[in-house]
Amino acid sequence: MTAPALPAIGAPLSRVDGRLKVTGGANYAADWRPDGLAYAYQVQSTIANGRITAIDTAAALREDGVIAVLTHENAPRVKAHASNPNDRSLHVLQDDVIEYDRQPIALVVADTFARAKYAASLVRASYAAAAPRTRFAQGEHYSPREVHGEPADTLRGDPDAALHASPVRVDAIYTTPVEHHNPMEPHATIAMWHGDQLKVYDATQGVLAARARIAGVFGLPLDSVQVIDSFTGGGFGTKGSTWAHTILAAMAAKAVGRPVQLAMWRPQMWGGVGFRPATRQHVALGAKRDGTLEVQIHETLSQTSMFDEFVEPSGTITTMLYASPALRVTQELTRLNYGTPTYMRAPGESTGSFALESAMDELAYALAIDPIQLRLRNYAEVDPTKNIPFSSKSLRACYERGASAFAWNDRTPAPRSMRDGRYLIGMGMASSTYPTNRSAASSGYEIRPDGTAIFRAMGVDIGTGAYTTFTMIAAETLGLPIDRVRYELGNSDYPPAPVAGGSQLTASLGSATRMAALEARTRLIALAVADTRSPLHALDPADVGIVDGRVIALATPARGETVAGLLARNGATPLTGVVSAAPGDEKKAYSMHAFGAQFAMVRVDPDLGTVRVVKQVGAFASGRIINAKTARSQYLGGMTFGLGMALLEISRPDDRTGRFMNANLGEYLVPVQADIGAMEAILVEEDDPHVNPIGAKGIGEIGIVGAAAAIANAVYHATGKRIRDLPITPDKLVS
């Protein structure tokens, strides 16, 4: 049977879960209220390196309502070390060693949150402190063996000789700081035990991975752990791993014999739940005088923790975006006394694009070539490292559509050549790309006798609109009105689906959902043509379809019956099933990426050095767009994230102590509405028959890639001053 078309896919549909969210009906992890709920509060270290010599909990234990205080002296023993490279090793009160600031050193459990928080302030710890390693220069650098299963280093040709021979060169250092995620919903967990069965409500990006990590820590079978997360209030990568607080909540629940909630206070999130690591990136480009690249060198140094390893693969973008006969991309790490970094929106590509796309802009000025023309001159028709074709690549169209909407041709090339009264005006652009990822996923379906359908999977909606996207795919493929389909997500008892990260959930679970809906549709049609009482009896199944909840003859749509009527006549029992979908060998044949072009206009006060982003335009080609409304929202969110990266976001540590000094949203600045100028996201149409059964590429992260570089390039155009150290703050422009 030929698969049905998906004509409604791509429509701008409002969120099916929107009413629940705006009315307060959506339960996030900390919103559940099981009977007997107790509340836990972390006590965190005030040093970044050393040992606990004594810890006094007596005053806390004397407080009304306090049930228990856990420390390394009395906490249950668990398996906190990570054996899987995708997991993090955890500090969960197993010893007296301190390796980073704000490391958990005690957990106070009380009958109310306020009592737990106050009692935690009474816990006193004494330390034997040692000087922490806080700067790149203090740590030994080493090369990881691989990055996400790929070699850490890439070499093509003789880069040093090619750079020396190039008549035009750019050779510079670009740096990006530590940034913290700060989703609207802080990390939170509720844990409860029933014998050896553990149930956890957790703010996570993936219940499948969370269940596996929790089970491993406690030495439990997978089926003894249930993880639920119906709604997640943002993640951006920080909720992609299972961190110490989740394990501590379960440890406390076991110790006190009742459910325990552990919700992190905002300043506590600067310790132990990950961050974007600082990078130092050396980028060198050599080109002929006509702009043809001869060599690209991209060498990245980033930080990891003293006890774990995380790589920020900033050079990955350089291996595939532009063609050059010579290339060297390397990655080094240094161990510092901070917690383990983690994925933060477009990890590697966001930081790497700032360095590479700034260097390309510098090269364009050195050659006196328009920045778009320079990129077109070095356009990679095939993946230059893998030497295989792209599954689809619409980057040229992105340049064209973006430049037209932005009015790029109104730009005068010389720095400081454009003004608005006393203000300097600058225009900059950058390329954008992000890999198309996909993992195995499964979707369950239940077609009920009343003609409604329920689909279920472990996938989590982290605020991106997954409930709506998957409902659209299921409804359109099955042939039911969208209000007759419900998708249930975020429960580890459902069929497995990967983490909502790496821009992969739609491609993965969306493909499984389509296959599940096709199976259900096929079964309904088979039931109709086999039923002697059906008006469709004995028709060829290929001549039967399902439209708007009716099983019909395609040639004569009036001939047919409702799905509800068909099922009612055939036992009134639900049709159920689970369908799995997984990637094959397509990545061996094709290089799969989404592409885009970012444009920014800035207004700079020449006396004060303040930068305002007047306008941002992003044009993106990401395969088939499932929901134009939420897709545009994701692109705009990514571009806003990039504005914060360019101008505002930095976690400032005290190098003497390793303690972050601006651990709150009063001093860690993120963009607010007043920071945003005119902003437009253009959805460039693209058909990709190779990536997956629904033809969709991930969109959650590409919006940030190149945004910071476009703004930095616009600042240079406005001022003539090249800032290679993010964020771009007034002191760097007026000094």
Q: Which long-range contacts (CB under 8 A, 24 or more apart) does 21-24 make?
A: 21/231
Coil, strand or helix at 294: strand
140 belongs to a structural domain? no
CA atoms within 13 A on the CB side of 24: 1
Residues 446 and 433 in one domain: no
Please give the full DSSP string across 137-195, using - where no structure is assigned: GGS-EE--SEETTEES-EEES-HHHHHHH-SEEEEEEEEE--B----SS--EEEEEEET
* pLDDT of 4: 47
Q: State yes or no: is 185 an active-site residue.
A: no
User: Residues 686, 557: one domain?
Assistant: no
Does any domain span residue 408? yes
The answer to whether the bond into 727 is cis (omega within 30° of 0) is yes
Write the Ramachandran bin of 407: left for phi over 0, alpha for psi from -120 to 50, otherwise beta: left
**Same domain membership, residue 383 and residue 502:** no
- Cα distances from 696 to residues 297, 354, 511, 625, in angstroms, run 32, 26, 9, 6
The pLDDT score that the predictor gives to residue 292 is 98
SS3 content of the chain, % helix, strand, coil (to 5): 30, 30, 45
Considering the domain architecture, whether residues 676 and 654 belong to the same structural domain is answered as: yes
Cα distances from 87 to residues 83, 499, 616, in angstroms, run 7, 13, 37
CATH number at residue 363: 3.30.365.10
Full domain range(s) for residue 546: 18-25+440-582
In a shared domain, residues 543 and 664: no
Residue where one domain finishes, among candidates 555, 582, 609: 582
* Amino acid 146: pLDDT: 85
Q: Which amino acid is at 546?
A: I
Do the domain assignments include residue 163? no
Residues 205 and 298 in one domain: no
Q: Encoding tokens for residue 112?
A: 């109310």
Count CB neighbours of 488 within 10 A: 15
Q: Is 587 left (phi over 0), alpha (psi -120 to 50) or beta?
A: alpha
Classify residue 154: in a domain, yes or no. no
Are 308 and 428 members of one domain?
yes
Give yes or no: residues 519 and 424 share one domain.
Answer: no
CA angle, 246 then 580 then 488, to 5°:
50
Query: Does residue 303 lie within any of the structural domains?
Result: yes
Residues of the chain with pLDDT under 50: 1-6
What is the DSSP annotation of 684-723?
A: -----SSS-TT-B---TTTTTTTHHHHHHHHHHHHHS---
Domain membership of residue 670 (yes or no) is: yes
Using N-to-C axis directions, what is the helix angle for 466-478 and 505-530, rounded to 10°? 30
Q: What H or E segment, with its residue span, contains residue 444?
A: strand 441-447
pTM: 0.97
81 CB burial (10 A radius; 0-12, 13-18, 19+): middle
pLDDT (tens digit per residue) in 650-664: 999 999 999 999 999
Write down which residue in 561, 582, 603 finishes a domain: 582
Q: Which of 531, 555, 582 is the last residue of a domain?
A: 582
> Which residues, in sequence order, are bridge partners of residue 197?
194
Task: Indicate if 245 and 114 belong to the same structural domain.
Answer: yes
Into how many domains does the chain fold? 3
Spatial contact of 452 and 563, defined as CB atoms under 8 Å apart:
no
**pLDDT given at position 518:** 98
103 CB-near residues (< 8 Å, 6+ apart): 44, 45, 91, 271, 272, 339
Clarify whether residues 712 and 600 are in a common domain. Answer: yes
- Whether residue 469 is found in the same domain as residue 489: yes
State whether 454 and 530 are in the same domain.
yes
The DSSP 8-state label assigned to residue 95 in this structure reads S
SS3 for 204? Answer: coil
Residue 728 located in a structural domain: yes
Q: Which helix (H) or strand (E) holds 401?
A: helix 395-406
Q: How far apart are CA 121 and CA 650, in angstroms?
A: 28
pLDDT of the residue at 577: 98
Q: What is the pLDDT of residues 546-603, one digit of tens each?
A: 999 999 999 999 999 999 999 999 999 999 999 999 999 999 999 999 999 999 999 9
Helix (H) or strand (E) holding 573: none
